[in-house]
Structures are given as structure tokens and as C-alpha cells.
Amino acid sequence: MSNKELDIEFKEAVARVNAHTDPFPADTLLKLYAYYKRATNDYGKPKSKKPIINAFKTNALFQIDNITEDEAKQEYINLVNNYFLYRK
């Protein structure tokens, strides 16, 4: 898959997530958050008002620190596709 195709699929996956109105499971949200941040090279501090949420988000980022931006985009796409395929 070319970089352009990957970018298009990534943007479509992000749009699917943003359009979804039901809550995601917490573990899925943390993975989505981490992959998105890595894919977009956005390493700003988590901005939740609750310190525990920031700790979980930071931990999620540490867990994927060793993957590239393109790998993060692909993992985000895979996670979104699997979620919508297998959700009840």
C-alpha cells in the first residue's frame, strides 16, 4: 500500500471513529488514542482534568513508542476495522 493510500484509509478510519456515537470500550479508546497520536506525530501532554486518565494515556503512548508513524496508521485502521466488524 502506498503512503497516499495509507493516508486516505487512515483519514477514513478517523472519520468513522469521530462519527460513531456509542461509547467505545476503555481499552479500545486508549489504543485509538495512542495510535492516533503516534500516527500524527502529536506528542503533546494528555489534557484530561483527571490525573488517572492522563496516566493511562501516557502509558498507552509508552507501549507503542517503538513503532513508526506508518505502522501506527495501519494499526489504527486495523483496530477500527476489527471493532466495527466484531462489535455487537
What's the Cα-to-Cα distance from 81 to each of 26, 36, 39, 74, 85, rounded to whole Å?
17, 15, 17, 10, 6
Q: Which CATH number fits domain 3-86: 3.30.1540.20, 3.40.50.620, 2.60.40.10, 1.20.80.10?
A: 1.20.80.10
Q: What contacts 17, CB < 8 A, 6 or more positions away?
A: 24, 32, 80
Can you tell me the distance from the alpha carbon of 41 to that of 73, in angstroms, rounded to the nearest whole number?
11
The pLDDT tens digits for 4-60 are 999 999 999 999 999 999 999 999 999 999 999 999 988 777 878 888 988 999 999
Q: What pLDDT does 47 receive?
A: 79
Largest CA-CA distance found in the chain, in angstroms, rounded: 39
**HSE-CB of 17 using CA atoms within 13 angstroms:** 24
Can you tell me the distance from the alpha carbon of 14 to that of 25, in angstroms, rounded to the nearest whole number?
16
Domain ranges within the chain, ordered by starting residue: 3-86
The pLDDT tens digits for 64-78 are 989 999 999 999 999
